[in-house]
A and B are shown apart, each in its own frame.
Chain A
Amino acid sequence: MTRTRPWRTAGAAALLVALMAAGIAPARAEETAAPAYSAKGADSCLGCHDDPALLSLFKTKHARPRDDRGPFGHGGLQCEACHGPGGAHVRARGKQPAGIVDFGPHALAPPARQNAQCLGCHQSNVAHEWAASQHAASEVPCAACHTLHATHDPVLATATQAEVCTSCHQAEHTDLFKPSHHPLREGKMACSSCHAPHGSQGPFLLIGNTVTETCTSCHSEYRGPFLWEHQPVAEDCSNCHDAHGSAQPSLLKTRPPFLCQQCHEGAGHPSIFNGPQGLPGGGAPSAYLLAGGCVNCHTQVHGSNHPSGRLLMR
């Protein structure tokens, strides 16, 4: 029988209470100063905020009067559903943003405060994995990516999304122009074709549970299982490919034969030195080096279903 140690339990309880109090105290302090809502809702706001750019909101999903889940649905808090109670702001004739939540990466409201406004409605769908995501950990406000008042939010359009993402992920902006790349620069693919920015249980915020599951959601011809598998293919596509772009063909990390020789240096041709003497001007143009290199013969690098496909040549 385990002996109880009351002093430990009491200490743990005291620590817990102290932690919770520390977390709750500021909230209570603010509660007493919580501002009131405006008298007329959106009509209070639109009297001043009549900029066409802001009014574009009424062309978006957020301004659907028959959708009771939205801010402008029946009983909705309209502008104040997102921006918080605006009573004091109205009374001060807009001179101070008391109680108003503003949005964006350089807004006065901290990211967690901004995001709480969004998650109040979007917790259940796009953001149910948000709390555990890298973007939440890095305190990225929703409005750093989303432009809420615009008729067309650029991050929601395939053609313009990469521009939004690479405004922070700038290294990936350089990737767009590499000789071998996915069609993001051409606007035919979006970052969200592979990544789930609101949270994912896969690595790197991928839409699939693994790298391979993500890739084969489009490249389904490589899913297999094949009779003769190539182990690194079954394990992880990124063993050989760099999905964001490459100077080498087919998004490869480096090119054959050198890429292949990072794993294969068996007796015979896999281990031979391939130098520039194998180029057309070098005297002995080499099939190991030129055109597809190793895949000139081992063409089935992703796996073969041929009974004689052991060396991935059939």
Chain B
Amino acid sequence: MSAVALLAAGAAWADDPAPPDTSAWKCEQCPFLEGYSGDVEVGALKANGANFSYGRYTGIDHSTTYADVSAAGQYRSADGTNASYDLEDLGLASRQGSAAIGSEGRYDVKVDYDDLPTRLYDTGATPFLGAGTGNLTLPASWVAAGSTTGMSALGSTLAPVNIEYDRRTASLLGSYIASSAWTLHAEFRHEEKDGTGLMSGNFLTEAAQLPQPIDYVTDTVEAGAAWADHRASLRLTYTGSWFKNDIDSLTFANPYLPMAAGATQGRLALPPDNNLQQFALAGNVPLNWLATSLTYAASLGSLKQDEGFLPYSTLPGATVPTPSSLDGDVHLSHYALALASHPLPKLSVRGNATYDGRDDHTTPLTLDYVVTDTFPSGPPLTAPRYSEDRTRLEGSADYTLNRWVRVGVGGQYLVTHFGPDQLVEDTRDTENWVRATLDPLAGLTFTLKGGNASRTTSGFIASALPAAENPLVWAYDYAPRDREFFTATGSWQATTTLTWSVEGFFANDAYRLSQLGLQSVHERRASTTLAWTPRETLSAYLDGGYQHLDMLQDGFTGALTAPWQVGDFEHFWNFGAGGQCVMATRWTLGLDYLHAPSYSDFNTQVGGFAEPFPQNWSRLDSVRLDLRYQWTKAAQVHLRFIHEKYDSSDWALDGVGPATIPNLLAFGVQPWADSVNLVALTFRYQFGPAGNPPP
């Protein structure tokens, strides 16, 4: 087995000697875990200043006292039967837990649960009634008007609306070791996502932000078998995933004066039920030839959607189209072959070929059309179907020149064929790079990598361009592009206690043939970390990072106006420092500080005159202190304090109230901001032989 592994890894050193007679290896000093061990942590967490901004994914979204409860434990018997559980943050909306039972070397069964809260905005308000349902109405006192400024009942009818949803995932996993070569595995995952999102509904030129009901369920089954021995490995997997949305539409009252008779309400389609079925085969074969490993994969699948259509509009007499559903059917295919070889001890070669196909077999439908539930429009239109396939060839070779220098070259060739109804027939991307890894001193390693890439496009199909679209705009996923890039990484273990690492990157993209649309993108990144661990009981770190991203795009409105240009310049910083220290054997102190600002500047120019936007920015400052006292061998007291301040500015939201924009009845949500103090005091007790000794 180890010989196979050596080949697979491309190693060229000796096999280990023949396995010894281990009958005398009693492992008498081995402290194998037996019986029950575990710990429970109970306490309280007091939050001050918490809101949706802080609670976005933590679930700590208001100022109150939360139960801080976690527990973990495991049981192992002498015959190898074992069970375990792990419960975390039970008092928070971000709680998670798992429980497992198994027999060593035979089977494992595990149950997982995870709750992911998403809190987006608690600063919005809306006059719509029925948030969370598929039917939004307006209060009886509502006064419709041609613009938001005329909606005289708006002030008295606004009610807070929270944009938030929860994703709860429960899964059951099992694996059974059928023999030394065969393992069977299966997983069932049930995911619920419910709450309120944010979407909009409009009547031609007038719109309103709406609370979107979210009531999704996704069930996923994955089952398969894996086989492996010293000759090869193989995995067969079936995946089935069913998405179900119990609310298929959102009907909303028109808060504006109807533009046409009967246009008093609108209706949006919500995500339709869909299902995905996929069969996959993957594995590898170590070849006894130049230390080569062959990896292969193939999968075939289909994506289907056949939700019944809504009527064309809410207008009286509107009908449901024929056929009454899409019968959508997309075929997915994936084939891959990869080869990794060490033809010489100092030479490693890798190559792979991949094909991905997304083939939309749905019959294109030609349908009538009603503009925003208001105006029946011109001749029927055919819904385009989009297919594409990608063939990717990649290769690289690395050669170790001596103990200090390793060099490599590589490249990639990607051909993307687009199906009918798309603007081009295909794009071709090529990329070439060179790499050098330098080890000038023991513990010091630098890797430099640079290269370039280009994309060409062929077969422009003018007839696929929508009638009103400007033919001078190249959508950037099609547009010919040149790229140059360079990466440098380094790490240095200066002493046994001090390590330093650094990473730098730049990339320039130029869309050389695009007369309008995206013109260029520049990206710069630099990061560094210094870690110091003078002894086991003391450690400290400093880290910092910077990113710059800018993109430039050109636009043209018409012959009577000047060309315009938009530049988006973004800067991100992060600086962190902290450490941990064990004092007087029983006290452990941890301290972390983080400062992470970001800036985003949109500079516009029209006719050569600069018109910059106010700067969008965010600033995150966080201090975290952890103090632990090891009371006894099994008991620990933990005090945690977190101060976090987040502030931000966004010109798209700043000062935008429900009636600020004449033709948009907005929620008036404001940029995220919070200043939170968290204090948690918990008591932790450990049971059984796994109790850790005092630090």
Contacts and interface: CB of A to CB of B under 8 A. Distances in A.
Interface in B558-596: 558, 561, 564, 566, 568, 570, 572-574, 594, 596
Contact of A275 (B348, B611, B620): B611
Contact of A291 (B180, B516, B528, B661): B661
Contacts of A306: 267-269, 309-310
A297 B276 CA distance: 30
Contact of B470 (A112, A186, A271): A271
Interface string B304-346: 0101011111000000110000101110101010111011110
A289 interface: yes
Contacts of B648: 179
B494 to A, nearest CB: 11
A247 B598 contact: yes
Contact of B309 (A73, A137, A300, A307): A307
B505 interface: yes
Interface in B85-118: 94, 96, 103-105, 114, 116
Contact of B527 (A24, A37, A173): A173
A276 B613 contact: yes
A178 interface: yes
A27 B556 CA distance: 67
B344 A58 contact: no
A271 B9 CA distance: 55
A168 B491 CA distance: 9
A132 B345 contact: no
Interface stretch (B255-263, B539-547, B623-631): B539-547
A180 B507 CA distance: 22
A6 interface: no
Interface string B329-370: 110101010111011110010101010101010100101111
B344 A23 contact: yes
Interface string A168-201: 1111011101110001001011000000000101
B290 A273 contact: no
Interface string A120-158: 110111001111100011110000000000010000001
B297 A201 contact: yes
Contacts of B608: none
- Chain B residues touching A, majority SS: strand
A123 B491 contact: no
Contacts of B227: 124
Interface residues of B, number: 209
Contacts of A292: 198, 200, 209, 652
B682 interface: no
A247 to B, nearest CB: 4
A40 interface: yes
A164 interface: no
Contact of A310 (B1, B369, B620): B369
B259 to A, nearest CB: 14
Contacts of B336: 201
Contacts of A96: none
B6 A116 contact: yes
A112 B9 contact: yes
A305 B566 CA distance: 33
Interface string A280-311: 11000111011111011101100011111110
B160 interface: no
Given A78-B25, A173-B543, A23 B469 contact: no
Contacts of B105: 64, 66-70, 73
A234 B332 CA distance: 12
Contact of B340 (A58, A116, A132): A132
Contacts of B94: 186, 188
Interface in B445-502: 447, 466, 468-470, 472-473, 475-477, 489, 491, 493, 499, 501-502
How would you classify the secondary structure of chain A's contact residues: helix, strand, loop or mixed? loop
B300 to A, nearest CB: 11
B602 interface: yes
A113 interface: yes
Given A46-B29, A273-B564, A296-B207, A167 B529 contact: yes
A121 B4 CA distance: 10
B66 interface: no
A290 B661 contact: yes
A304 B20 contact: no
B228 interface: yes
A255 B9 contact: no
A285 B226 contact: no
B652 A255 contact: yes
A239 interface: yes
A261 B26 contact: no
Interface in A199-233: 199, 201-203, 209-210, 212-213, 217, 220-229, 231-232
Which interface residue of A66, A131, A249, A304 has the most chain B CB atoms within 10 A? A131
A313 interface: yes
- Give the one of A19, A117, A177 with max B CB within 10 A: A177
Interface stretch (B10-18, B44-52, B633-641): B10-18
A19 B342 CA distance: 10
A46 B30 contact: yes
B65 to A, nearest CB: 20
Contacts of A47: 29
B330 A132 contact: no
Contact of B245 (A24, A201, A221, A287): A221
A304 to B, nearest CB: 6
B236 to A, nearest CB: 12
B614 interface: yes
Contacts of A177: 572, 574, 594, 596, 598, 620
A131 B543 CA distance: 32
A124 B501 contact: no
Given A116-B9, A287-B664, A273 B555 contact: yes
A158 B390 CA distance: 32
Contacts of A290: 651-653, 656, 660-661, 664, 666
A171 to B, nearest CB: 4
B228 A307 contact: no
A90 to B, nearest CB: 13
A222 B103 CA distance: 40
A71 B526 CA distance: 42
Nearest to A183: B57
A119 B22 contact: no
Interface string A51-79: 01001001100011111111011011110
Given A130-B8, A266-B466, 11 more contacts: A33-B14, A68-B105, A116-B5, A132-B339, A232-B475, A247-B599, A258-B553, A292-B652, A306-B269, A306-B309, A308-B367
7 A-B pairs with the lowest CB-CB distances in the bound complex, closest first: A124-B228, A66-B80, A41-B25, A170-B527, A132-B338, A177-B596, A201-B336
7 contacts: A34-B14, A35-B17, A43-B30, A65-B30, A220-B276, A221-B193, A292-B652
